[in-house]
A and B are shown apart, each in its own frame.
Chain A
Amino acid sequence: MDFTPDDEQQALREAVRGLLATTYADHDARRRTVAEDPGFDEKLWGRLAEMGVLGLPFSEADGGVGAGPVEIGIVCQELGRVLAPEPYLASVVHAGGLVAACGTAEQKADVLGRLSAGDLVLAAADTAPGARWSSANDGVRATVEGDAWTLTGVADPVVGGARADLLVVTAALPDGGTGLFLVSPEAVERTGYVAADLTRAASVRFDASAATPLGEPGRDLSASIATISDLTRIMGANQALGVMQSQVRATTDYLKSRTQFGVTLNTFQALTFRAADMYVSLEMAQSMVDWATMTIAGGDPAVVADAADRVGLTIARTGRHVGQEAIQLHGGIAMTAEYAVGVGAAHVEVLGQWLGNGAHHLSRLADRVGEHEMVDAV
C-alpha cells in the first residue's frame, strides 16, 4: 500500500503544471479565454496533445499512451488547480472513454487516434432535459431501417457540445436498452450556452439525424455507459480536488497578508480555526480521491461504482465547505469574477451537478447500507 505518487507521476504533474502555466499564469488569462468562443484555448489543447496528455487513457494501438488512472487523475487535478476550461473531462475522459469501451477496433483507432492527436474534439450527449445521472437516455430514441440508423430527440446539457467535432450519443434502442452512436454535428441542431462557471455546454436537437452505431449495432451498452460515467465522476473528483487545494492555499495566503484593524487577519483565532477546518476537510477529500482513483485499476465495475458514489459524496460535502469558507474568509473580493476563489466554487458546483451531486450519491449509498457490516479501505 502506497499513497505517494512515484517519480514518473510526479514528473507528469510538473510537466502538466508547467504547460498549463504558459496559458493560465493568472486568473485574468482564464477570464479572457472563457469570454470568447469556444470557451477554451485551442492552442493549449494542441500542446496538450503534443505532450501526450489527450491520449493518456487510450491504448498505444489506438494512438494513445496507455497510462493508468492515477496519471489521468493527476492531469485532472492540475486542470482544476488553475480552473482550466479545456474540455478534458468531457471530451477525453467521458466521450473518449465511451469510444474506448464500446467502439469497434476501427472506430477506436480512428476516433481515439484523432482525439489523442488533438484533431478531434468529442462530446458525450447522454442527458435528457430534466433527467438526472442515468445510464439510460430516453430523451433520444434510435430507429433503424435496413442498416441506416437515425436518432430523434433532445440532449441537454451536452458539456462541450457546441465546439465538438463529433458527438457520442446515448439513445434508447428500438428493442429496449441503451445504445451508443457517433453523430456528426452537421446532422443536428446545436445551441451553445455558458454554464455557471463560464465553461460551455449545449442543447442538441436530433431530428431523424443520421447516426453510426458505436460497436455492434443494436446492442444494449448500459453497463459500459454506467462504468464510464463512474470513471468520469472519479476524475471529476480529482479536478474538484485541484480546485479546493487552490482555494485553501489562496485563503491561507490571504489570511496572512490582508490587514484589517491594523493587523493581519491571521491574528484572529476565529478565522484561523475555520481555515484549520477547511484543511481537515481537504485532507479527507484527498484521501478519498486517491483511494477512488486507485480502485479503478482493479477493474471491477461494482467496486468502481461504489467508489464513485463515495468520492462523489465526499467531494460534494467538501466542495461546499471549502468553497463557501474560502469566499467567506476572503470577504467581498471573492464575490468578484476577477478572483479565482469564487469562480472555483462555481466550477466545483458545476462538476457536481453535471456528474452527480451529494444528494444523489448519498441516496445511492443509503440504499446499500444493509449490504455490508462495515466499509473497509482495503
Chain B
Amino acid sequence: MQLELSPTDAEFRTRMRELFTTKVPQEIRDTVLAGRHLSHDQIVESQRILNAEGLAVPHWPTEWGGQDWTDLQRHLWHEEMQRAGVPLPLAFNASMIGPVIAQFGTQEQKERFLPATANLDIWWSQGFSEPDAGSDLASLRTSAVRDGDDWVVNGQKTWTTLGQYGDWIFTLVRTDPEVKKQAGISMLLIDMTSPGVEVRPIELIDGGHEVNEVWFSDVRVPGDLMVGDPGQGWTIAKFLLGNERVGVAPVGATKRALARLKSEAADLMDDPLVRARVAELENDLLALELTALRVVAHSSDGAPHPASSVLKLRGSELQQAVSELALDLAGPASLAARADDDSPQEGWARRSAPTYLNLRKASIYGGSNEVQRQIISRTILGL
C-alpha cells in the first residue's frame, strides 16, 4: 500500500490544474464556484476549449479524441476540473451518447456524430424516462413503428434535462410490443427540429427550468439513425447507465461547495455547533474521496466496480447534507431566493434554498438510492 501519487501522476495533476485554471475563462469558473447558473453559451464555450486541449472526452476511444489515461488519471482530471470550477463536459454528450455511438454505432454514425458530440456542436438530450417508467425503465411505452425506411415515433418522454437546448435527443423506444418488455426496446437518435417534436418546460420546486417533457407526434426518423439493432436498446441502455455511475459521486464539487460556505459564512464559524457540523462533513467527504480512489485503483479493466453504487449513494447524501448546512446557515436570508439582484441579502444565502431543493434530485436520478441499495445488497452482499 502506498499513499503518495507516483511522480508521473503528481505531474499529471499539476498539468491538469494549470490547464484548467489558465485556459478556461475566469468568469465561467467564477459562475461555477459561486453556484450560479451557467448559460448555454458558457457551457458550449467551456467544452470547446476543453476539446481543443484534448480534455473533453478522455475516456473515449483514442481514434475519436480519447486519451489513453489510467483510471486514476481520469479520476484526477475529473476532480481537478471540479476544483477549478470548470464546468464538466456535458454529460449527455461526453459520458452518455458518445461512448454508446463509439461502441455500438455504425462507421457512418461515428463519423457523423462523434466529432460534433465531443465539440458540443450538437447538444444532446436524453430521452429515457417516461411518466410511468423511471427506475423501472423497461416499462417505457413510446413507440416506433417501421414505415418504409423510416421509423414513426409516438409518445412522451419526461425529466429531459436541459432539453430546451437540445439539438438532438437519444431515445429508447418500443419497437416490438409483442416480446418480453426488455427485448422490445431500441435506441433512436432524433433531430429535435423534426416535425412533431415538442419540448414543454416543467417548473421544479427550486423555481428553475432544468427539465422538460418531450412529446413525439408521428415523428419520422430515418432508419439509419437507429443505434445497434432493433431490440438491442436495453443492452445499450445498461452500457450507458453503467458509464453514468462512474464519477457519479461529485466529491470535488461537494468539497468545493463546503469550502466556499466556510468562507462565505465566515462570521458563523465561531459557533462550535457549526464548526462540528463542518468537521463532520469534511471527514465524511474525505472518506468518500478515499473510497473513490480505492475504486479507481481497483477497476483497471475499465469495467465499473460494483462499489460505484456505494459512491453514488454516499455521494448524493453528502451533496445533500452540505446544501442543508448552507440553508441552515442562511436562515431568514434564504427567503430572498427570488428577490431582485439588488437584494441586500448575500448571494450564497439567497441561493441556499433553491440549491437545497434542487439537490433532492441527487438521490433520485441515475438510479435512485433505493436502486443502489438493491444493487449493493444483491450483487455485493449476495442477499
How far, in Å, is A160 (CB) from chain B's closest CB? Answer: 29
How far, in Å, is A216 (CB) from chain B's closest CB? Answer: 33
Interface set, chain B 307-332, CB cutoff 8 A to A: 307, 310, 313-314
B303 within 8 A of A: no
Also in contact, A280 and B314, with CB within 8 A (given A272-B377, A373-B259):
yes
How far apart sit A5 and B1, CA to CA, in the bound complex (Å)? 5
B149 within 8 A of A: no
How far apart sit A297 and B6, CA to CA, in the bound complex (Å)? 16
Interface set, chain B 256-304, CB cutoff 8 A to A: 256, 258-259, 262-263, 269, 272, 275-276, 278-280, 282-291, 293-294, 297-298
Residues from chain A with a CB closer than 8 A to the CB of B269 are 369-370
Residues from chain A with a CB closer than 8 A to the CB of B40 are none
Residues from chain B with a CB closer than 8 A to the CB of A347 are none
Residues from chain B with a CB closer than 8 A to the CB of A285 are 287
How far apart sit A374 and B372, CA to CA, in the bound complex (Å)? 28
Of A41-49, A224-232, A286-294, A332-340, the one touching chain B: A286-294
How far apart sit A362 and B273, CA to CA, in the bound complex (Å)? 11
Q: Is the CB of B278 within 8 A of A291?
A: no
Most chain B beta-carbon contacts within 10 A, residue among A275, A285, A374: A374
How far, in Å, is A243 (CB) from chain B's closest CB? Answer: 18
How far apart sit A294 and B3, CA to CA, in the bound complex (Å)? 6
Q: Is the CB of A291 within 8 A of B314?
A: no
B373 within 8 A of A: yes
Interface set, chain A 338-368, CB cutoff 8 A to B: 362-363, 365-368
B382 within 8 A of A: yes
Other-chain residue from A284, A294, A297, A369 in contact with B262 (beta carbon distance below 8 A) = A369
Q: Is the CB of A284 within 8 A of B314?
A: yes
Number of interface residues of B (CB under 8 A): 50
Q: Is the CB of A288 within 8 A of B276?
A: no
Also in contact, A1 and B287, with CB within 8 A (given A280-B376, A294-B2):
no
B29 within 8 A of A: no
Q: Is the CB of A314 within 8 A of B283?
A: yes
Q: Is the CB of B290 within 8 A of A362?
A: no
B72 within 8 A of A: yes
Residues from chain A with a CB closer than 8 A to the CB of B370 are 273
Residues from chain A with a CB closer than 8 A to the CB of B258 are 374
Residues from chain A with a CB closer than 8 A to the CB of B382 are 252, 256
How far apart sit A362 and B291, CA to CA, in the bound complex (Å)? 21
Residues from chain A with a CB closer than 8 A to the CB of B179 are none
How far apart sit A363 and B273, CA to CA, in the bound complex (Å)? 10
Residues from chain B with a CB closer than 8 A to the CB of A273 are 370, 373-374, 377
A378 within 8 A of B: yes
Q: Is the CB of A1 within 8 A of B283?
A: no
A21 within 8 A of B: no
A-B contact pairs, 23 of them (CB 8 A): A1-B3, A1-B9, A1-B297, A255-B383, A276-B376, A283-B291, A283-B310, A285-B287, A287-B290, A288-B286, A288-B290, A295-B3, A310-B286, A362-B279, A365-B279, A365-B283, A366-B276, A366-B279, A369-B279, A373-B263, A374-B282, A375-B283, A376-B289
10 further A-B pairs in the complex, CB-CB below 8 A; given A252-B381, A373-B259: A1-B293, A275-B381, A277-B373, A280-B314, A288-B287, A290-B290, A313-B280, A365-B283, A378-B3, A378-B293
